Amino acid sequence: MEAVLTAARSWSEQDPDDETRTELEALVAAATGDPVDAAAVASLRERFSGRLAFGTAGLRAELGAGPQRMNRVVVTQAAAGLARFLIDTGRDRSVVIGYDGRVNSDVFARDSAEVMRGLGLEVTLLPSALPTPVLAFAVRHLGVGAGVMVTASHNPPRDNGYKVYLGGGDDGSQIVPPVDGEIAAAIDAVAAGDVRDLVRATDYTVAGDALVQAYVDATAATVPAPRLPADAQPKVVYTAMHGVGWETARAVFAAAGFAEPLVVPEQIEPDGAFPTVSFPNPEEPGAMDLSVARGVAVGADLVIANDPDADRLALAIPDGAGSFRRLSGNEVGWLLGWRAAAAFAAGSPEASGALAASIVSSPALSRVAERYGLEYRDTLTGFKWVSRVPGLVFGYEEALGYLVDPAVVRDKDGISAALALLDLAVSLAAEGRTIADQLDAFAAEFGAFASGQVSTRVDDLSRIGEVMAALRSSAPSSLGGLDVTGVTDYSDGVAGFPPSDILRYDLEGGARVIVRPSGTEPKVKVYIDTVASTPAQAQALVDALAADVRPRVS
């Protein structure tokens, strides 16, 4: 325990934040008091048991003191490590930094700007809290060596994070191995010293409104002029879920000629406390209750939601019974992929292109690719992989992420995806049809697909390894009454994929089940996909598989 106390005191001395320094000093006092506070001892041991791992998702964790939390010391070390990586590898010594509306996002962004500028980089800081897609756009638009976005996306309210993009040959995509390991090593080297020894400088550039306008103009240009005037377009309700999406989305919709959506006033302004949702993720039960209630009250045709940093999109449509049903990420992916493939084939009939989705997303998109003569590519989970597919026309991930125009942003973008959906909804309305009608048309054209998910949250991370080990040691011969026809263990290294902690079970009739640990949350996640003659039959198979799988991963 003495080593932990020494590390804690050393950390406290270099911490520039009064709040986290006071928090740590209080823990040390409680852990060394009489009597000793066992909870304080346990907390200190956990906080100083190692460092936040910097990986392909960058950093993401709860705010707090110590190397296992997000705080100004950790962020300063990360910024200096990234800067040294750019310098040591001969990359362009320039970076653009963005931040969302979470607690301390602006502080972490300014710390990063000062530290990177102090190390000699050309630094541009975005002018205000803005969506992640604006930062991803800026990396390419400004032609810089790297981009940093301070965000925890849709994580719990007390979390924050640090996401890294690379320019040059990486073309504005998120980092992938082995670069993440190289940056992590550079951060570790910085962490061996004291952040007070790092030179800071404040003569960095703050971007003007022209950069945001460039994103608005480029995004608006991804759709044609609406086929209906504003007063004849479907009625739309929009929520930013206490995030930073609204002002940018509003500008994009207007620039493209679409009617301004009605908003959920309680959730439209950025608020890092997220007062109306316990978990600011549109996928979570209850997260869209306010927006659905607003949709019912105004008789909306669509309800759309961005997550707090607006890189994801959720859609709900009238259910015919006086309320709304949220479409799954796969359903939205099918519709947007079909739209993109048809437009690409019509505009460039001789050109080659590709549709892509993560391996945990529905296989339905492969049917669309086949229908339009496009290549189809499965990728590992994460848009860092989807965005790198050569010749990409459209890519998506079932976790509400969609890349609708790779020429503008090489990452998921909830604002351009919302615009694409508005374009689809207006085009259908001009023909007297709805999004629900288009889902029926998809099933008739490509097959009745259904998908589902089982997630088990754990308090002890070792439980995740135990679940995966148990599945590997005793593979089921059937699931949900369907025979298992094949098992693929991605930890062995599958052609085209690096070794990954993923298990895939192929089942009779074209169904499949995929199990993996979450990359951003303490969960085991199970993805279920089926195809049948009718949507009801496909959903019944999903329900049976979910009932069988749930106890196996609990």
Q: What is the DSSP string of 112-147?
A: HHHHHHHTT-EEEE-SSS--HHHHHHHHHHHT-SEE
Asked whether 401 and 390 are in contact (CB, 8 A), the reply is no
pLDDT given at position 111: 98
Hey, what amino acid is at 498? P
Count other Cβ atoms within 10 Å, centred on residue 478: 12
Low-confidence ranges of the chain (pLDDT < 50): none
Q: What angle do CA 338, 341, 347 make, to 5 degrees?
A: 135
Structure-token pair, residue 47: 């906080």
Residues of CATH 3.40.120.10 domain(s) within the chain? 55-207, 209-446
Asked whether 358 and 398 are in contact (CB, 8 A), the reply is yes
Asked whether 172 and 147 are in contact (CB, 8 A), the reply is yes
**What span, in angstroms and rounded, lies between the C-alpha atoms of 173 and 181?**
16
Helix (H) or strand (E) holding 463: helix 462-473
**What span, in angstroms and rounded, lies between the C-alpha atoms of 115 and 198?**
7
Catalytic-role residue among 105, 153, 361, 387: 153
Packing angle of the helix pair 414-430, 132-142 (nearest 10 deg): 100
Residue 221: DSSP 8-state: T
pLDDT given at position 234: 98
Structure-token pair, residue 444: 């008739």
Asked whether 412 and 420 are in contact (CB, 8 A), the reply is no
Residues of CATH 3.30.310.50 domain(s) within the chain? 448-552
The closest alpha carbon to 528, from 360, 370, 405, 371, belongs to 360
pLDDT given at position 520: 67
Helix (H) or strand (E) holding 288: none
Hey, what amino acid is at 327? L
CB-based burial label for 88 (10 Å; 0-12, 13-18, 19+): exposed
- Write down the CATH number for the domain with range 209-446: 3.40.120.10
**What span, in angstroms and rounded, lies between the C-alpha atoms of 147 and 173?**
9
Asked whether 524 and 552 are in contact (CB, 8 A), the reply is no
**What span, in angstroms and rounded, lies between the C-alpha atoms of 371 and 306?**
31
Asked whether 531 and 510 are in contact (CB, 8 A), the reply is yes
**What span, in angstroms and rounded, lies between the C-alpha atoms of 373 and 393?**
12
**What span, in angstroms and rounded, lies between the C-alpha atoms of 481 and 220?**
48
Asked whether 521 and 60 are in contact (CB, 8 A), the reply is no
**What span, in angstroms and rounded, lies between the C-alpha atoms of 8 and 2?**
10
- Write down the CATH number for the domain with range 448-552: 3.30.310.50
* 3-state SS assignment for residue 271: coil
Count other Cβ atoms within 10 Å, centred on residue 25: 15
**What span, in angstroms and rounded, lies between the C-alpha atoms of 527 and 542?**
10
Residue 463 CA: distances (Å) to CA of 69, 396, 459, 514, 517: 21, 30, 8, 18, 10
**What span, in angstroms and rounded, lies between the C-alpha atoms of 542 and 237?**
30
Q: How far from chain centre, in Å, is Cα 370?
A: 28
Asked whether 403 and 333 are in contact (CB, 8 A), the reply is no
pLDDT given at position 57: 80
Q: What angle do CA 521, 137, 407 make, to 5 degrees?
A: 105
Q: Residue written as tokens 């509400």?
A: 400
Structure-token pair, residue 525: 């996640």
pLDDT given at position 492: 80
pLDDT given at position 498: 82
Q: Is 153 a catalytic residue?
A: yes
Asked whether 329 and 154 are in contact (CB, 8 A), the reply is no
Asked whether 276 and 243 are in contact (CB, 8 A), the reply is no
pLDDT given at position 41: 94
Superfamily of domain 55-207: Alpha-D-Glucose-1,6-Bisphosphate, subunit A, domain 3 (3.40.120.10)
* 3-state SS assignment for residue 420: helix
Torsion of CA 366, 370, 376, 382, to 10 degrees: -30
Hey, what amino acid is at 438? Q
